[in-house]
Amino acid sequence: MHLFYTPDIEGDIYTLNADESRHCVRVLRLGAGEAVSLVDGKGTWYEGVIERAEVRGCEIRITDRRELYGRRNFHLHLAVAPTKNIDRIEWMLEKCTEMGIDEITLLHAAHSERKVVKEERLEKVIVAAMKQSLKAYLPRLNPMTDFRQLVTSCREPHKFIAHCNEGDKKRLDEVYRPGEDVVILIGPEGDFSEEEVVLARHHGFVSVTLGTSRLRTETAGIVACHSIDFMNRV
């Protein structure tokens, strides 16, 4: 199966952009008459046939479309503080997208090691993972957001903050109800500060544990994502 990302698709004839056309014709060596699949990142899956195979603009005729393809009955929002080594966050975004995630916010916390990220690069990682895992929904990537701004604006019915500080913490399976929207905060390598945990709890966040091991930021993000996904499957 050959899948292309086409966010601006309309009508029954679509021309791939330069990058996708080049990949289609020169890398995959596809020609006129061959079948391809397309997704718009908004939940619609398209089937099509190549009408004209050109590097500068590969033209595809749409033969079928399926809306709400793979739609889930809950919204998973992960807010994570980027690591100093950005490769580790890219890996996390790739794996979370493959498993299934709806929204990611890059979080600036008190102990954050990285304050600037190249969002364009992260978007490319997410798009590639969406295509690889055959999904029709592209996770939303929010820009770097201050911790206070985020915790005071979240409206999800389930709000959790994962940290290693002392105090009472619940397991996700003890406090999350499958089928409902959720946001989970994942801190930097130095963890959230005590003041941040207090602020989050003041705004309705529940402290949670992701197990008995101390996890790296990117590992914690994947564990949180998989836990919610798994609870919604059983």
For 55-107, how does the pLDDT look when each residue is reduced to its tens digit (9 = 90+)? Answer: 989 999 999 999 999 999 999 999 999 999 999 999 999 999 999 999 999 99
Separation CA 122–CA 140 (nearest Å): 11
Nearest of 223, 3, 182 to residue 96 by alpha carbon: 223
Domains of the chain: 3-66 (2.40.240.20), 76-231 (3.40.1280.10)
Integer Rg of the chain from CA: 20
Separation CA 141–CA 120 (nearest Å): 10
Separation CA 175–CA 115 (nearest Å): 31
For 168-227, how does the pLDDT look when each residue is reduced to its tens digit (9 = 90+)? Answer: 999 999 999 999 999 999 999 889 999 999 999 999 999 999 999 999 999 999 999 999
pLDDT band at 234 (very low <50, low <70, confident <90, very high): low
For 13-57, how does the pLDDT look when each residue is reduced to its tens digit (9 = 90+)? Answer: 999 999 899 999 989 999 999 999 999 999 999 999 999 999 989
- The model's pTM is 0.92
φ, ψ of residue 10 to 5 degrees: the values are -150, 150
Separation CA 74–CA 218 (nearest Å): 22
Amino acid at 83: T
Task: Please give the angle made by the CA atoms of 42, 94 and 57, to the nearest 5 degrees.
Answer: 55
